[in-house]
Structure 1
Amino acid sequence: MDKNQTQHFSVVKDELDVHRILEHVYEALEEKGYNPVNQMVGYIMSGDPTYITSHKNARSMINKVERDEIIEALFLNYIDTRLK
């Protein structure tokens, strides 16, 4: 390896983790009797984690991913399922 060359580093997001977290959070919200879509939209729009229940550790899990990563995963899923 030439030490004068700039090395390229690329981080590959684990999209699967985001999807698993969203599924887990959805199920936890549903189990507690909340409307999961409304609660998750409230969280994404406001950034307020209290929209997410702490049941089944859902609040801690959703805090592991950035809101923009959630939106990106949802958007990519929409494109994959509806536009392709």
Structure 2
Amino acid sequence: MTDMSNTQFFKVKTEPEISVKKVLDVVYNAMAEKGYNPVNQIVGYIMSGDPTYITSHKGARSMIMKVERDELVEELLKEYIKNEAWKCEQE
């Protein structure tokens, strides 16, 4: 019989954390490989929350669903600002 006075430990293996930037990179490339317009599809997903905008090719759909949509927008905006894309339009 098992000794009921001892506590057993159970450790769940967690998936390694993947950056939002990497998720967007994988999703973008998977969409392009399948012949979709990645920008349109990602925007559709962000606006609606409907994962069917994203292909399941290369696990893209399951990856993007692990990231909150506001985190996707935040990453996109940070990259846009970092690259100062609006300066090109003013010149």
- TM-score class, shorter: 0.7 to 0.9
Query: 2:34 pairs with 32, 45, 64, which one?
Result: 32
Q: Which has the larger radius of gyration?
A: 2
Q: Can you give the 5+ residue segments of structure 1 that lack an aligned partner in the other structure?
A: 1-13
The two structures, once aligned, show a CA RMSD in angstroms of 1.9
Residue 74 of structure 2 aligns with an amino acid whose one-letter code is E
Identity %: 66
1:65 aligned onto 2:51:
no
Match of 1:74 in 2: 76
Whole-angstrom distance in 2 between the partners of 1:23 and 1:63: 14
Residue 47 of structure 2 aligns with an amino acid whose one-letter code is M
When you count helix as a share of all residues, which structure comes out higher? 1
Matches within 5 A, 1:3-18: 17-18=19-20
Q: How does the TM-score come out when normalised to structure 1?
A: 0.78
List structure 1 runs of 4+ shifted beyond 2 angstroms: none
- Number of residue-to-residue matches in the alignment: 70
Q: How does the TM-score come out when normalised to structure 2?
A: 0.72
